[in-house]
Amino acid sequence: MSLLPILRFPDPRLKKVAAPIETIDGSVRRLARDMAETMYEAPGIGLAATQVDVHRRLIVIDASETRDQLLTLVNPEIVELEGLQVCEEGCLSVPGIYDKVGRAERVVVRYLDLDGAQRSVEAVGLLAVCLQHEIDHLEGRVFVEHLSQLKQVRIKNKLAKQARITA
């Protein structure tokens, strides 16, 4: 297993829409393992393949406090949304930036597991937010795009300044 480089906003590759995975094979399973290792090491609670410059519909999530409840979702699709919650979000592709985003309070997501079996997960709270956040990445959206234009410009400027300092 190896750690994967995570793209940083506003990298244009984060805007690419991920393609469905047609066949779950060894390369998909290996990517899922590498993504999980990268997510845990970062540390984060979710990672979409788009964030590691692989434009296929695959996400890994572990929103548990014990960090031992890994969910791997192939071709995830939101099939139900209900309610509204506003939570502070952050993102491995937007390091050091946190802001409040409105998301559905409850979601049902249909997906394939790594054996190709059709599954679904019903989630509320943090897991519901994380599922929506990561599925947004597969659609080419980063959480800051839910914020005002002014906040987006400020975030881009702050990240550009950080990049100059560390370069």
CB 44 within 8 A of CB 6: no
CA neighbor of 35 nearest in space, from 63, 61, 65: 61
Distance between CA atoms of 86 and 104, rounded to whole angstroms? Answer: 9
134 is catalytic: yes
Cα-to-chain-centroid distance, residue 3: 16
- Report how far residue 2's alpha carbon sits from residue 131's, in angstroms, rounded to the nearest whole number: 24
Q: Do you find a cis peptide bond into 5, omega within 30 degrees of 0?
A: no
Active-site choice (105, 134, 139, 145): 134
Query: How does DSSP assign 10-51, residue by residue?
Result: T-GGGGPPPBPP----HHHHHHHHHHHHHHHHTT-SEEEGGG
Distance of alpha carbon 93 from alpha carbon 51, whole angstroms: 7
For the annotated catalytic residues, the residue numbers are 134
